[in-house]
Amino acid sequence: MAHRPKRTFRQRRAHSSDSDGAEEQSSEPGAPEEQTAQGLTEEGPPSGGGRVEATARRVRGRGRGRGRGRVWASSRRSAGAATRTEGGLSVPESRIVDLSTDEEDETAHSLENKDDQSSSSNSSSSLEEEFSSVVNIPDAAFIQAARRKRELARAQNDYISLDVKHTSAIPGMKKNSGDDPESEPDDHEKRIAFTPKSQTLKQRMAEETTPRNEETSEESQEDENQDIWEQQQMRKAVKITEGRDLDLSYSSEPQTVKKFDTSISLPPVNLEIIKKQLNNRLTLLQDTHRSHLREYEKYIQDVESSKSTIQNLENSSNQALNFKFYKSMKIYVENLIDCLNEKIVSIQEIESSMHALLLKQAMTFMKRRQDELKHESTYLQQLSRRTETSTNESLAVDEKTQWILEEIESRRSRRRQARALSGNCDHQEGTSSDDELSSADMNDFQKTQDDISQDHKKIFEDVHDDFCNIQHILLKFQQWREKYPDSYYEAFISLCIPKLLNPLIRVQLIDWNPLKCDAIGLKQMPWFTSIEEFMASSMEDSKKEDSSDKKILSAVINKTIIPRLTDFVEFIWDPLSTSQTTSLITHCRVILEELSTCANEVSKGKQDLLKSVVVRMKKAIEDDVFIPLYPKSTVENKTSPHSKFQERQFWSGIKLFRNILLWNGLLPDDTLQELGLGKLLNRYLIIALLNAIPGPDVVKKCNQIAAYLPEKWFQNSAMRTSIPQLENFIQFLLRSAHKLSRSEFRDEVKEIIPILVKIKALNQAESFIEEYNLDDLKSVIKEV
């Protein structure tokens, strides 16, 4: 809509682009006669016949507007600038300017030029007469007919001319303007002129000579123009609505009729082509219909399935109980994990304390044995040097060495007394485990161990049995397995139980020492029996014969027991101690038997344990075996310190040889043969035997060595020769037999032949019997 004008109604000095739809008036009385009436009507004329004279004066005064570039009859005016009649008054046809086409614009422009010429030659008095005589005011029907005629002329051309510069912004308003002369487009619907329209020389001269006092005349008409403007805006609001309705009716009528060109040739069409296209179309529709049917059936099935599921859930009365059970199990497991996470720190601290205590004791024994061996060997070397020099000077021994030697002898005396009281007279010096502690050291050790045991008992003293008793915990999971076995096995509880029980089992193992002979066996421990009962109840279900619960015990052993045993083997176990070795082997056999059901899964833990055993025995052979070699003249006297020391060290080596071979059945035969025969027998024991004087003592030692060899190495009846690692031992036996046969100990030869037969050196035994005509010993070979 047009903007409301200011109250002053002063004429604006603007270009043609600003004058579109504006109505600046020059109603100053006594205007010069050169002002030309242009035939342009105002946007909204005042209503009533009393406004006719004012209208005529405004029409006469628009020819020459004040200001440069002012164009009152702008070509961008809408078609609503046609002749308007109100109150029986009409405007001459020559004054009408139709802005819908360029042709009308040119006509209006020529009329303006003619009016300018006539106005410049006539006076103001004759202007009135000329206006009344020359101007012909056509009626509305005539104007409408002319407009339709022009539209038909444009339509027949079937194109839009490029010369058209002024088109209505709203077509409906143009079509409606013929019916109502008062219809006028709003200011925002008019086109804006960006360049001023060209004027003739006379028009420019008339504008320059226009008086400058027109502003005063506008003030007198302020009130009148305000009323006129308000009425115009009201009529515009009404006519715009009516114009839109009329535009719909006009737009429904066809503007042009496009004729069909019969000269164009179309492709030939026959019935087969039409039929083929119809069949293709029908096939396509049928396929689409079938796909829709399939989708429909699928949706129907989904709906029915959903309904049945909903009904089953609604009819199920155990859902609430199931939810309650699962929720209680979830809360229980979360609380159990929180409890174990809080206690695991204390468990680790107490475990470390106990391990450190046992490690300290083991290192004490090992260091003491090595120190005593070093000092005693040094003392005997000094004693040998003094004997060689044949000096009568007393041997200077420092106080520390003297104290160590006295301490060693006192412990030996106590052990001899203990063996005498027990009736063990066949004991050999050097085969006992020198693991005695002084009373003070023993009291300190026992006190520290008791303190650790007290702390161990306080770990779970503030915890309910449901969270620290293995049997109660397994009972919870057993109820789950019995009530909801499917969800139990789907949750892989058998993999979680070993991890949950690990801290609780470690607590029970804190004061467990597998190196002691009186240590409780694994099968007698509470956790072992609880897990066995849990597994037995699982096996009762015939449908779960391959139940994963059967592997819970092996998993617990692999993750908890084997790592603890490995620590004992690496840091605490003394391979020279027969008691420790026997106890350790007993526990290892139990563990490996339990692991035999799932050896593939726990092979890594088993291999780690056995590897640590082999490494520890190698270290013992390298560090603890020492058999000195003295001249025969020195060792002939069995009561000499050199002979006693050599005997003790040899029997200590025999003891280690026995302890190594006790692992038969747990360690591979190749490993045992390498350790026992290759590294110990051939490197240390045979050399000491070669240095010894042949006699009953040598035969006794050889008998003891052969007794410790595993029998399964010689179970093959087809064997005629022994294993390669025993070749040196066989050669020593034959050499000793040759020497004894020529000595006073001829009867000792009968002890050597059975040794050769036992180790499957049959060929060597037969050769020796034939050489010395020992026919009474042939029966020994035949029995084999």
- Residue range 138-179, pLDDT digits in tens: 788 888 888 888 888 776 655 555 554 444 433 444 444 444
pLDDT tens for each residue of 369-416: 888 889 888 888 888 777 666 555 556 667 778 888 888 888 888 888
pLDDT at 413: 83
Q: Is the pLDDT of residue 459 over 90?
A: yes
Q: pLDDT confidence of 603, banded at 50, 70, 90?
A: low
Q: Is the pLDDT of residue 135 over 70?
A: no
pLDDT at 65: 40
Q: Spell out the residues 6+ positions from residue 584 whose beta carbon is closer than 8 angstroms to its own.
A: 514, 515, 565, 568, 569, 573
pLDDT at 631: 84
d(CA 109, CA 761): 146
What is the SS3 assignment for 69? coil
Query: Mean pLDDT lowest for which of 163-167, 301-305, 438-442, 768-772?
Result: 163-167
pLDDT tens for each residue of 462-503: 999 999 999 999 999 999 998 888 899 999 999 999 999 999
Backbone φ, ψ for residue 144 (5° rounding):
-65, -40
Q: Are the C-beta atoms of residues 497 and 333 closer than 8 Å to each other?
A: no
d(CA 608, CA 202): 122
Q: pLDDT confidence of 258, banded at 50, 70, 90?
A: low
d(CA 730, CA 762): 11
pLDDT at 330: 94
Query: Mean pLDDT lowest for which of 72-86, 422-436, 441-455?
Result: 72-86
d(CA 200, CA 117): 11
pLDDT at 77: 38
pLDDT at 390: 54
Q: Is the pLDDT of residue 658 over 90?
A: yes
pLDDT at 381: 85
What is the SS3 assignment for 751? helix
Mean pLDDT, residues 58-83: 39
Q: Is the pLDDT of residue 582 over 80?
A: yes
Q: Tell me the average pLDDT of the chain.
A: 75
Q: Which helix (H) or strand (E) holds 260?
A: none
Q: pLDDT confidence of 75, banded at 50, 70, 90?
A: very low
Q: pLDDT confidence of 62, banded at 50, 70, 90?
A: very low
Q: Tell me which residue of 661, 687, 686, 662 sits closest to 674, measured CA to CA.
A: 661
Helix (H) and strand (E) counts in the chain? 30, 0
Mean pLDDT, residues 503-514: 94
d(CA 540, CA 536): 7
Q: pLDDT confidence of 749, banded at 50, 70, 90?
A: confident
Q: pLDDT confidence of 262, banded at 50, 70, 90?
A: low
Q: Is the pLDDT of residue 276 over 80?
A: yes
Q: Are the C-beta atoms of residues 77 and 22 closer than 8 Å to each other?
A: no
Q: Is the pLDDT of residue 420 over 90?
A: no
Q: In sequence order, which ranges of 458-492 are alpha helices (DSSP H)?
A: 465-468, 470-483, 485-490
Q: Tell me the three-class secondary structure of 652-667, residue by residue.
A: HHHHHHHHHHCCECCE
Q: Are the C-beta atoms of residues 185 and 80 closer than 8 Å to each other?
A: yes
Q: Is the pLDDT of residue 83 over 80?
A: no
Whole-number percent of the chain with pLDDT over 90: 34
Q: Is the pLDDT of residue 764 over 80?
A: yes
Q: pLDDT confidence of 187, banded at 50, 70, 90?
A: low
**Hey, what are 180's tokens?**
């109502």
Q: Are the C-beta atoms of residues 608 and 667 closer than 8 Å to each other?
A: no
**Of 248 and 521, the one with more pLDDT:** 521
- Of 58-67, 75-84, 537-546, the range with the highest mean pLDDT is 537-546
pLDDT at 378: 87
**Of 441 and 430, the one with more pLDDT:** 441
pLDDT tens for each residue of 283-342: 999 999 999 999 999 999 999 999 998 888 777 667 778 888 899 999 999 999 999 999
Q: Tell me which residue of 687, 688, 664, 665 sits closest to 676, measured CA to CA.
A: 664
Q: Are the C-beta atoms of residues 44 and 13 closer than 8 Å to each other?
A: no
pLDDT tens for each residue of 706-731: 999 999 998 887 777 789 999 999 99
Query: Mean pLDDT lowest for which of 27-36, 239-248, 620-629?
Result: 27-36
- Of 113-127, 161-175, 218-232, 657-671, the range with the highest mean pLDDT is 657-671
